[in-house]
Amino acid sequence: MHGATIEIPGVGPVMVVKSKRARHIRITICPDRTIRLVIPRRESLEKGREFLRSKVPWIIRNLPRAAELGEPRGGNLPDFEISESRACKVLIDRLEEMSRVHHLPYGRVSIRNQKTKWGSCSSKNNINLNINLVRLPDQLRDYVILHELVHTRFKSHGREFWAELNRVVGGDAKGLARKLRAFRLGGHEVGGRVPGAAAGPAPQVKEPILALEELFS
Protein backbone atom coordinates (compact mmCIF):
# COMPACT_ATOMS: atom_id res chain seq x y z
CA MET A 1 0.00 0.00 0.00
CA HIS A 2 2.91 2.35 0.67
CA GLY A 3 3.49 4.55 -2.31
CA ALA A 4 -0.04 4.21 -3.70
CA THR A 5 -1.66 7.41 -4.86
CA ILE A 6 -5.12 8.49 -5.91
CA GLU A 7 -5.41 11.25 -8.51
CA ILE A 8 -8.11 13.81 -7.70
CA PRO A 9 -9.06 16.17 -10.54
CA GLY A 10 -8.30 19.75 -9.55
CA VAL A 11 -6.29 18.62 -6.54
CA GLY A 12 -3.58 16.30 -7.81
CA PRO A 13 -2.13 13.13 -6.36
CA VAL A 14 -3.08 12.01 -2.85
CA MET A 15 -0.73 9.55 -1.12
CA VAL A 16 -2.55 6.62 0.42
CA VAL A 17 -1.08 5.27 3.63
CA LYS A 18 -2.43 2.20 5.44
CA SER A 19 -1.72 2.57 9.14
CA LYS A 20 -1.86 -0.08 11.83
CA ARG A 21 -1.98 2.64 14.48
CA ALA A 22 -4.47 5.13 13.08
CA ARG A 23 -7.90 4.99 14.68
CA HIS A 24 -9.61 7.27 12.18
CA ILE A 25 -9.41 7.83 8.48
CA ARG A 26 -7.74 11.20 8.04
CA ILE A 27 -6.37 13.60 5.49
CA THR A 28 -3.24 15.63 6.11
CA ILE A 29 -1.98 18.55 4.01
CA CYS A 30 1.64 19.65 4.50
CA PRO A 31 2.97 23.07 3.41
CA ASP A 32 4.55 21.60 0.28
CA ARG A 33 0.98 20.60 -0.69
CA THR A 34 1.65 16.91 -0.11
CA ILE A 35 -1.72 15.38 0.67
CA ARG A 36 -1.94 12.10 2.54
CA LEU A 37 -4.95 9.89 3.12
CA VAL A 38 -4.31 7.72 6.19
CA ILE A 39 -6.54 4.65 6.49
CA PRO A 40 -6.56 2.43 9.60
CA ARG A 41 -5.77 -1.18 8.77
CA ARG A 42 -9.28 -2.32 9.74
CA GLU A 43 -10.92 0.12 7.31
CA SER A 44 -11.33 -0.60 3.62
CA LEU A 45 -9.66 1.33 0.86
CA GLU A 46 -13.14 2.00 -0.54
CA LYS A 47 -14.23 3.73 2.68
CA GLY A 48 -11.05 5.79 2.56
CA ARG A 49 -11.76 6.79 -1.05
CA GLU A 50 -15.32 7.71 -0.11
CA PHE A 51 -14.07 9.95 2.72
CA LEU A 52 -11.52 11.49 0.39
CA ARG A 53 -14.20 12.21 -2.23
CA SER A 54 -16.43 13.84 0.39
CA LYS A 55 -13.53 16.03 1.54
CA VAL A 56 -12.47 17.39 -1.84
CA PRO A 57 -14.06 20.81 -1.08
CA TRP A 58 -12.20 20.89 2.26
CA ILE A 59 -8.93 20.09 0.49
CA ILE A 60 -9.47 22.74 -2.19
CA ARG A 61 -10.34 25.29 0.49
CA ASN A 62 -7.28 24.49 2.59
CA LEU A 63 -4.60 23.91 -0.04
CA PRO A 64 -3.73 27.62 -0.49
CA ARG A 65 -3.63 28.06 3.29
CA ALA A 66 -1.26 25.12 3.69
CA ALA A 67 1.04 26.55 1.03
CA GLU A 68 1.00 29.97 2.74
CA LEU A 69 1.98 28.42 6.04
CA GLY A 70 4.97 26.86 4.35
CA GLU A 71 6.36 30.18 3.17
CA PRO A 72 9.42 31.30 5.09
CA ARG A 73 8.62 33.91 7.71
CA GLY A 74 11.39 36.46 7.74
CA GLY A 75 14.17 35.72 10.08
CA ASN A 76 12.18 34.07 12.86
CA LEU A 77 14.30 30.97 12.67
CA PRO A 78 17.62 32.09 11.19
CA ASP A 79 19.34 28.80 11.83
CA PHE A 80 16.50 26.64 10.60
CA GLU A 81 18.20 23.89 8.65
CA ILE A 82 15.42 22.03 6.88
CA SER A 83 12.19 23.06 5.21
CA GLU A 84 8.97 23.17 7.19
CA SER A 85 7.32 20.59 4.97
CA ARG A 86 10.24 18.25 5.46
CA ALA A 87 10.14 18.89 9.22
CA CYS A 88 6.40 18.15 9.33
CA LYS A 89 6.94 14.86 7.60
CA VAL A 90 9.87 13.87 9.84
CA LEU A 91 7.88 14.59 13.01
CA ILE A 92 4.61 13.01 11.89
CA ASP A 93 6.40 9.88 10.65
CA ARG A 94 8.36 9.57 13.89
CA LEU A 95 5.24 10.09 16.02
CA GLU A 96 3.35 7.44 14.04
CA GLU A 97 6.23 5.01 14.32
CA MET A 98 6.65 5.43 18.08
CA SER A 99 2.92 5.31 18.66
CA ARG A 100 2.81 1.97 16.83
CA VAL A 101 5.92 0.50 18.44
CA HIS A 102 4.82 1.37 21.99
CA HIS A 103 1.07 0.82 21.50
CA LEU A 104 0.22 4.38 22.48
CA PRO A 105 -2.49 5.54 20.06
CA TYR A 106 -3.26 9.26 19.77
CA GLY A 107 -6.09 11.27 18.23
CA ARG A 108 -4.64 13.69 15.74
CA VAL A 109 -1.43 15.64 15.42
CA SER A 110 -0.69 19.26 14.65
CA ILE A 111 2.74 20.70 14.07
CA ARG A 112 3.17 24.30 15.19
CA ASN A 113 5.85 26.90 15.58
CA GLN A 114 5.48 27.52 19.28
CA LYS A 115 7.68 29.79 21.31
CA THR A 116 7.33 28.23 24.73
CA LYS A 117 6.46 24.57 24.42
CA TRP A 118 8.03 21.56 22.78
CA GLY A 119 4.77 19.70 22.72
CA SER A 120 1.45 19.05 24.40
CA CYS A 121 -1.27 16.44 24.60
CA SER A 122 -4.93 17.41 24.96
CA SER A 123 -7.64 15.69 26.99
CA LYS A 124 -8.77 14.13 23.69
CA ASN A 125 -5.25 12.79 23.14
CA ASN A 126 -4.58 15.15 20.27
CA ILE A 127 -0.87 15.85 20.13
CA ASN A 128 0.82 19.12 19.32
CA LEU A 129 4.48 19.08 18.36
CA ASN A 130 6.81 22.03 17.99
CA ILE A 131 8.38 22.18 14.54
CA ASN A 132 11.70 23.15 16.17
CA LEU A 133 11.96 19.61 17.55
CA VAL A 134 13.79 18.72 14.35
CA ARG A 135 16.63 20.94 15.53
CA LEU A 136 17.19 18.89 18.67
CA PRO A 137 19.44 15.84 18.93
CA ASP A 138 17.40 12.79 17.87
CA GLN A 139 17.39 11.38 21.39
CA LEU A 140 15.75 14.53 22.79
CA ARG A 141 13.33 14.88 19.87
CA ASP A 142 12.22 11.30 20.55
CA TYR A 143 12.01 12.03 24.27
CA VAL A 144 9.48 14.84 23.67
CA ILE A 145 7.42 12.72 21.28
CA LEU A 146 7.36 9.83 23.76
CA HIS A 147 6.58 12.21 26.62
CA GLU A 148 3.45 13.39 24.79
CA LEU A 149 2.50 9.85 23.77
CA VAL A 150 2.70 8.71 27.41
CA HIS A 151 0.31 11.57 28.27
CA THR A 152 -2.31 9.76 26.19
CA ARG A 153 -2.31 7.21 29.03
CA PHE A 154 -1.40 9.34 32.07
CA LYS A 155 -2.33 13.02 32.07
CA SER A 156 -0.38 14.18 35.11
CA HIS A 157 3.32 13.84 35.85
CA GLY A 158 2.81 11.27 38.59
CA ARG A 159 4.75 8.15 39.45
CA GLU A 160 2.92 6.02 36.88
CA PHE A 161 3.67 8.59 34.17
CA TRP A 162 7.42 8.55 34.85
CA ALA A 163 7.49 4.76 35.17
CA GLU A 164 5.84 4.38 31.76
CA LEU A 165 8.06 7.06 30.23
CA ASN A 166 11.16 5.33 31.63
CA ARG A 167 9.96 2.13 30.06
CA VAL A 168 9.50 3.60 26.59
CA VAL A 169 12.68 5.71 26.55
CA GLY A 170 14.63 2.73 27.86
CA GLY A 171 15.83 4.25 31.14
CA ASP A 172 16.58 7.71 32.38
CA ALA A 173 13.59 9.87 31.44
CA LYS A 174 14.35 12.52 34.05
CA GLY A 175 17.95 12.73 32.81
CA LEU A 176 16.62 13.39 29.29
CA ALA A 177 14.25 16.05 30.67
CA ARG A 178 17.27 17.73 32.25
CA LYS A 179 19.23 17.62 28.99
CA LEU A 180 16.28 19.12 27.16
CA ARG A 181 16.20 22.08 29.54
CA ALA A 182 19.65 23.10 28.28
CA PHE A 183 18.10 23.91 24.90
CA ARG A 184 16.53 27.24 24.21
CA LEU A 185 13.34 27.56 22.26
CA GLY A 186 12.60 30.64 20.14
CA GLY A 187 15.25 32.64 21.96
CA HIS A 188 13.58 31.95 25.29
CA GLU A 189 14.77 29.36 27.69
CA VAL A 190 12.16 26.72 28.31
CA GLY A 191 12.62 27.67 31.92
CA GLY A 192 13.03 24.36 33.65
CA ARG A 193 9.62 23.38 32.48
CA VAL A 194 8.99 19.81 31.47
CA PRO A 195 7.53 19.80 27.94
CA GLY A 196 3.80 19.32 27.83
CA ALA A 197 3.51 20.30 31.49
CA ALA A 198 0.24 21.93 30.59
CA ALA A 199 -1.41 18.63 29.74
CA GLY A 200 -5.16 18.51 29.90
CA PRO A 201 -7.43 20.69 27.80
CA ALA A 202 -5.45 22.07 24.86
CA PRO A 203 -4.43 25.66 25.54
CA GLN A 204 -5.43 28.31 23.02
CA VAL A 205 -2.47 28.42 20.70
CA LYS A 206 -2.02 31.43 18.44
CA GLU A 207 0.86 29.99 16.45
CA PRO A 208 -0.04 28.80 12.96
CA ILE A 209 -0.74 25.18 12.37
CA LEU A 210 1.82 23.86 9.93
CA ALA A 211 0.03 20.74 8.86
CA LEU A 212 -3.70 20.62 8.43
CA GLU A 213 -5.79 17.59 9.13
CA GLU A 214 -9.33 16.47 8.65
CA LEU A 215 -10.63 13.41 10.47
CA PHE A 216 -13.27 10.95 9.44
CA SER A 217 -16.07 11.11 12.00
Interacting positions 72-101 with Zn ion (CB under 5 A): none
Question: Of 24, 4, 54, which is closest to residue 124 (Cα–Cα)?
Answer: 24
Of 48 and 196, CB closest to Zn ion: 196
Residue 66 near residue 33 (C-beta atoms within 8 A)? yes
Of 51 and 118, CB closest to Zn ion: 118
Q: Say how far apart CA 181 and CA 191 lie, in whole Å.
A: 7
Residue 197 near residue 157 (C-beta atoms within 8 A)? yes
Of 51 and 161, CB closest to Zn ion: 161
Give start and end residues of each alpha helix (H) in the chain. 45-54, 56-69, 84-101, 138-151, 159-169, 173-181
CB of residue 1 vs Zn ion: minimum separation in angstroms? 34
**The one among 89, 196, 211, 216 contacting Zn ion by CB under 5 A:** 196
CB of residue 78 vs Zn ion: minimum separation in angstroms? 29
DSSP 90: H
Does position 119 interact with Zn ion (CB under 5 A)? The reply is no
CB of residue 31 vs Zn ion: minimum separation in angstroms? 27
Residue 131 near residue 110 (C-beta atoms within 8 A)? no
Amino acid (1-letter code) at residue 22: A
Of 33-41, 43-51, 172-180, 189-197, the segment contacting Zn ion by CB under 5 A is 189-197
Of 15-23, 132-140, 179-187, 192-200, the segment contacting Zn ion by CB under 5 A is 192-200
Of 70 and 196, CB closest to Zn ion: 196
Of 31 and 196, CB closest to Zn ion: 196
Longest CA pairwise span in the chain (Å): 52
Residue 152 near residue 125 (C-beta atoms within 8 A)? yes
Of 51-59, 67-75, 122-130, 194-202, the segment contacting Zn ion by CB under 5 A is 194-202
Q: Which residues bind Zn ion (CB under 5 A)?
A: 196
